[in-house]
A and B are shown apart, each in its own frame.
Chain A
């Protein structure tokens, strides 16, 4: 099911799974208490193909009935009222559910004592905050599927950058890359800072159709991303590509030409945004005038900073652009490989290795 990502072709239709009983009703338990900005939930509400209301109101054929539990959209007043389904799920008393995690997972192991980096509700017995880690430990093993929404949850993202004090990491780093859910699926990663609205809805729909028994499992690449969404590079979908081909580069941001010299990482980043637009085909990054900063990538942000400088190798590939061919593809493959790896400080060990120094000034 996994293939090497990068500029490789998206594989053809995956083989059909065994015929199985479908699920009629499923809960989506969404937790946004990771280290995040909640931008993925907000982004989700921008999707229109389909929209979240369409899914919740049962307007999409072939899906189970969906009960969405999300703090931002919840009509409940909050507190225990809102937490009830999470508590039921932790006790094993809630029907099949998809656990969606938003935000990176802090390393609680580096804290001595009773402190916490982030919590979600309180322990009903003691009144003490319950950490995000507690909830993941309780819910992930019981979940029918586990989905990581956004780059923070998939690979750590901004909050896991060098020098961070929380030692946070992506969900697969936390659960282990070999983790499988009740349905036998690995963590389904939908990166993006934030998620491109339709990319997320589409992945969710595929997972829901799989639950209903009407689709095989979604095809994922080696970083557990949906292949059909992340199999190509930004560059391959960019409408400034013909300028690149003619070695015609913008030298500052006033230009409609290729942005590689002003910081665009498009050639080696897996993302479909310039092709797809941001919402309803509108917006995007290099196509509108924004450099690609690699926000969907495991190496984001450190591997791409400083953002406003030409990427290393950019000059080389832009100079030898004319004898374009196998050599470039290979070089680019190497860089793509590099940015498709996470920094090694993203782990759940007892030591903080992100480079944070509380007395950094001395």
Chain B
């Protein structure tokens, strides 16, 4: 390809064009990506990511009854509201000192498993994959499409498509077979969700202390029969995605550089183990490691920690490019954690949100998103962790920790093995996700269907355990509690697209402070006070351009693939915004390009 040729034969004088996409489509929320592209050397030299929406949850929650927090914070996100409710309930359970009955944990876990299956499916197949579908590849890389037509799909015996181009056709929006089937599957999996949590998006049966869902045998068999109906779709999705992504590496040598950044991944863990969790802060390291997705911070391929207490204490919320007043001179709410460790002023427990609407200025403040970072004690750096779009970090962290060992899912130290039972047309299948060489666009996308399989497999285990309890007559799903006068709590969970934490401070039985930190503020964050770009900015900046179109009819598909690989979902940025795209001006600025050489 031209890109690799240009790189190997030395650089040409830069030809820089401003390009922006605002709003970005096929995501939830308002996102804008502003870039400078060097068309002579076919690479992105600069990227700013901005969100233009402010709503203010952490502001209007103040003074409210803490029990209302889950109901309110659900509304932060229109696709993963339940992840927020669940996380809020985890934080409240810590503050109230209440442990829900085991069956309630199973029901919540089953709801969350259905949510992961639903959300990843609709996002991957109906939103992300449109960037890899026949229509899009034809418009951006006709040469690649021609090759796809000649390339047999290696896993055709599983998914039934003969060539790579046939798979791409099946993903054409509104018309392709897989696109339509995925919409249907997203409905069946949402029905599974509604059986456990009442409604989707904003669940109705989750409470701090447990759930209100009426557990009956048919509650679980209704879920199981739907799960079995989609299990073969899951196996096929993994095979189709693997085929297309492997083909991209092969057809476009160097594509691994697209969206590649240093491996800086965070995962906060998902699915509590009901036999271990007690929600006490003091024991958080123990029950955090018992979760069925293991929390962890992975830096340059190494596991830095999987202790939720360390993870909690390292959280920092930075400003630098955001439309807010600093709170550093306020009184802290929490000076020490329950174990006596000091808590930083920039920790979510101590944050105060004061919005200051102002003009967007890419040299100054340009986003409603703040910049969450993780303080790495060894290097003293504030790391701009990303979530790899969710599954990449979850699988990576779980694989390295090697702690998950269940009948259906097993972490091996460098891979995760997932077993799915026989379905309508395909036999029992074991899938294995291996730690990839890169943290890049394709690997973020590839991890997603594997995680759908992971969620389906875990659901089988939760179902078996819940059914067993029910048959033993153990149907308690809610535990009563008192709201204390003063307390603190924190909840750690995985929203579909990655890390989710809620931090809560109660004074006089009212919310004194509440800060939810969902994945998108991590991924979409702007440059912080040290000038460190956020993950989208960092992943896009410096990436090569493979699209065959020139500046005049440039679509930016490689850039959009990178942004979408993170599963952007901006309602949760606050908290956030973004979006638009056309050439604004052509700037010939050789020195600029040289700096980035």
Question: What is the interface of chain A, defined by CB distance below 8 A to chain B?
Answer: 33, 35-43, 45-46, 48, 51, 53, 56-57, 71-83, 111, 113-122, 127-129, 157-159, 161-166, 193-194, 252-254, 256, 259, 273, 277-280, 282-285, 288-291, 293, 295, 301, 305-308, 356, 358, 360-361
Contact = CB atoms under 8 A, between A and B. Distances in A.
A165 B81 contact: no
Contacts of A41: 28, 78
Contacts of B357: 111, 113, 115-117
Nearest to B30: A33
B198 A129 contact: no
B560 to A, nearest CB: 5
* Interface residues of chain A: helix, strand, loop or mixed (majority): loop
Interface in B182-224: 183, 186-187, 190-191, 193-195, 197-205, 207, 209-214, 222
Contact of A158 (B24, B72, B358, B556): B72
Interface of B: 20-30, 52-56, 59-60, 62-65, 67-68, 71-72, 75-79, 81, 122, 126-127, 130, 135-136, 173-174, 180, 183, 186-187, 190-191, 193-195, 197-205, 207, 209-214, 222, 323, 325, 330-331, 352, 354-360, 475-478, 480, 555-557, 560, 571, 577, 579-582, 584
Given A78-B21, A163-B62, A360-B62, A118 B190 contact: no
Given A115-B359, A158-B75, A193-B202, A72 B25 contact: yes
20 contacts: A43-B78, A71-B25, A75-B25, A75-B26, A78-B21, A78-B23, A78-B579, A78-B581, A79-B581, A82-B23, A114-B359, A159-B75, A253-B212, A254-B476, A283-B193, A288-B198, A291-B212, A306-B65, A360-B63, A361-B352
Contact of A48 (B77, B187, B579): B187
A121 B580 CA distance: 6
Given A40-B78, A45-B183, 17 more contacts: A33-B52, A37-B201, A38-B28, A39-B78, A71-B26, A77-B556, A83-B23, A114-B359, A164-B56, A165-B56, A193-B75, A253-B212, A282-B195, A288-B212, A290-B198, A306-B67, A306-B68
Given A37-B77, A39-B201, A74 B26 contact: yes
B190 A46 contact: yes
A362 to B, nearest CB: 10
A280 B222 CA distance: 13
B580 A122 contact: yes
B478 A283 contact: no
A145 B73 CA distance: 32
Contacts of B477: 253-254
* Interface residues of chain B: helix, strand, loop or mixed (majority): loop
Contact of B330 (A53, A74, A273, A361): A361
B491 to A, nearest CB: 18
Nearest to B194: A283
B319 to A, nearest CB: 16
The list of the 8 closest CB pairs from A to B, nearest first, reads A79-B581, A115-B357, A39-B78, A290-B204, A283-B194, A289-B212, A37-B78, A306-B65
Most buried by A among B54, B78, B557, B577: B78
A100 B55 CA distance: 20
A115 B356 contact: yes
Contacts of A71: 23, 25-27
A253 B59 contact: no
A109 B354 CA distance: 18
A288 B214 contact: yes
A277 B577 CA distance: 33
B204 A284 contact: yes
Given A42-B79, A285-B204, A288-B198, A119 B30 contact: yes
Most buried by B among A39, A45, A77: A77
Contacts of A37: 28, 75-79, 81, 201, 571
